[in-house]
Amino acid sequence: MKHDKQIIELKQVDGPPLENPTYQWYRDDKPIKGATQATYITRDADYTARGRLKNITCRVSGDLDPDSGVTSLGEILTVIVK
């Protein structure tokens, strides 16, 4: 069954710049091969047989100025779904 593709984007909206960011997207807690950018486009494997989107997450790491006051990347990143 074909599904509409959704674009999921992580975007920095606030705070000091995140330097040397790395991204890894996961489907049901398993790494998605080749999904290592800030943007992920869903594919058919991301949906259940009933057409529901599986659990898609992204782990991000990078360098921040230790004096920035940022304690979590969640403070400076937002998720955009198109």
Local confidence pLDDT in tens for the 82 residues of the chain: 788 899 999 999 888 889 999 999 999 999 999 999 999 999 999 999 999 999 999 999 999 888 888 888 888 899 999 8
Taking each continuous run of H as one helix and of E as one strand, the counts in the chain are: 0, 6
Q: Are strands 19-27 and 56-63 parallel, antiparallel or unpaired?
A: antiparallel
The answer to whether 38 and 74 have CB atoms below 8 angstroms apart is: no
Compute the half-sphere exposure of residue 11: CA atoms within 13 Å on the CB side of its CA: 8
pLDDT at 20: 93
